[in-house]
Amino acid sequence: MHCRFVAASILAFLSFSGTAMAGECAGNPDALGTSRVLSIDPAEFQRLGTIQYKQTLPLDDHEVVLTFDDGPIPPHTDKVLDVLAAECVKATFFVVGEMARAHPAVLQRAYREGHTIGTHTEHHARLDRLSADKAEKEIADGFASAAAVLGDKNEVAPFFRFPYLDHTGAVEDRALKMGLSLWSADFHGSDWTFITPEKVTALALNRLEAQKKGILLLHDIHDRTAKALPVLLRELKKRGYRVVQVVPASGAVAKIEEKPGTTSPKTEQAALAKPDEKAPANTEQAALATPEKESAEKPKQWAPASIDQKNQKNADGVWHTHVKRRKTASAKGGDPFQNFFRALWRQ
């Protein structure tokens, strides 16, 4: 049986976006577009992103995957979605469960417009400071909240990013047993810091140029990010970069079951009184008290994935790539320099 998320994502992709090759973005013939859809099996691609792991997505030179953390929250997420729509670009949103509950209409819009929806815990908790059981609950609850808003767990990708990129080995093992693909990143724009939109753009581009491809980490909860995004996308187009959207392979669903006595996602969705009722005071500050930390600036070499890859072109001319990784050794401990800087941060 095909995963509803994949079917809906591809349908939305074809309906809402022109590709960079076709140049058929409504109202913007010079749009960046989305060059292809990359389908991955979480069981084969368990850990992604060279900031923490040895492997990343099997991207070609000058391909980039856009990811946004910590939302949804109006008006910033809406502005990010407006920019992406104007450029016919698809991204992955790692949403916080309580934010999804507070602003369901924004998350529903992101899904409706064809973006991939991953998760980022229920409360943006520091999972490295929780017991394995409590951390697992944070992960499961965040997934359940997104599923409740979208109406079905199959509409939430089994893609997960740890808040602050922090975790323990035990928590990572729990997440993998839940059928999740664990996403770090290859570079970021430092947009959680108090810098200008111009600086966000410059940092993201400089770090991309150093690696020539990879997963970009940004945050859709900041005005500076929304303001930086139009220039960033235009520069990507100018420099010959292509955006790739990542979706789960057909049938790939998180192994997170509804517990007895809890409300089903569809019932819970119906119980949400009104979309985007006023969030509790200081929702953003309370949920995201501490920003994502800078990774160690030690240069890292991208380790090419050992994969079997199959490209297929559908009737509309959009390339879909399905990949399967051969068995390779994975890294679980992270970079020792990064762990050192994390320890300093907590002092």
Whether residue 78 lies in the annotated active site: no
Judge if the upstream peptide bond of residue 75 is cis by omega within 30 degrees of 0: yes
Distances (CA, A) of 23 to 26, 29, 38, 61, 238: 9, 6, 19, 21, 14
What is the rounded radius of gyration, in angstroms, for the C-alpha atoms of the chain? 19
Which residues have a Cβ under 8 Å from the Cβ of 125 and sit 6 or more positions away? 135, 138, 163
Candidate list 69, 128, 191, 335, residue with the active-site label: 69
Whether residue 219 lies in the annotated active site: yes
How many C-beta atoms surround the C-beta of residue 45 within 10 A?
Answer: 25
Match 């890294």 to its residue by tokens: 331
How many C-beta atoms surround the C-beta of residue 271 within 10 A?
Answer: 9
Match 């057909």 to its residue by tokens: 250
β-pairing, 242-248 vs 92-95, is unpaired
Candidate list 120, 123, 167, 219, residue with the active-site label: 219
List the catalytic residues.
69, 219
